[in-house]
Amino acid sequence: MERAAIGILMLETNFPRPLGDIGHLHTWDFPVQKRAVGGASAQKVVHEDPRALLDAFIQVGRELVADGCRGLTTSCGFLSLMQDELKDALGVPFASSSLMQIPMIEAMLPTNQEVGVLTISKDSLRAEHLQAAGARGDVPIEGLPRDGAFATAIFDDLPDIDFTSCQTEMSAIAQKLVSKHESVGAIVLECTNMAPYAADIEKLTGLPVYSIVSFLNWFQAGLAPMRY
């Protein structure tokens, strides 16, 4: 069996992970190795300071490296706050957040366009998170409602999720983002659980949509290049 080049530092959760989610193994055309970080709930990572869990992330990350993973990532975009600490502690390429795609995408867009971000929590996503990912701190942001189907399932760690209601919510915030910010020429999905809805958002807005899936496919391509 081919060894996994990418190890995923997972939050400790029980909510469903449909195809397209970072936690669904069939999302990937290559092997990945997942390992949960004890105590790392969505609530603690998004609404509190995830750096309080740094030692736990380092420990699990080192286990994945010892098992042969040559690059690591996480299952939450808010973990950009630990990008520098974890890449140095783990000693391998580390991609903490899909937000890290923003500078590269903006370099490709016309100069009058910019990236817009969709997040699970607009109130919690601060300039500090964006800057830690190498992005501008003032990119346009829209977030899902805390009492909606998507955020409730994630933060309350529910055993079921209403996929249709989540699709409706994603479409609504995407429409809000592009309506408020005509300069948005591409969209980045902060939350790794949003990737299953990327195609719906692209169809609605007509804009390129980048997620943790697009990011890790690129990441993998360097860690384990195709042989031709």
> 36 pairs with which residues across the strands?
10
| CA atoms 222, 59, 4, 198: torsion sign | negative
Model confidence band, residue 4 (pLDDT cutoffs 50, 70, 90)? confident
Model confidence band, residue 35 (pLDDT cutoffs 50, 70, 90)? very high
The set of residues, in sequence order, having a beta carbon less than 8 Å from that of 33 and lying 6+ positions away, is: 4, 6, 7, 8, 64, 67, 68, 69
Model confidence band, residue 1 (pLDDT cutoffs 50, 70, 90)? very low
| CA atoms 112, 177, 139, 199: torsion sign | negative
- Note the pTM of the prediction, 2 decimals: 0.96
Extended strands (E) in 144-224? 184-189, 209-210
Decide: 114 and 139 in contact? Cβ < 8 Å: yes
Model confidence band, residue 228 (pLDDT cutoffs 50, 70, 90)? very high
Domains in the chain: ranges and CATH: 6-97+214-223 (3.40.50.1860), 98-211 (3.40.50.1860)
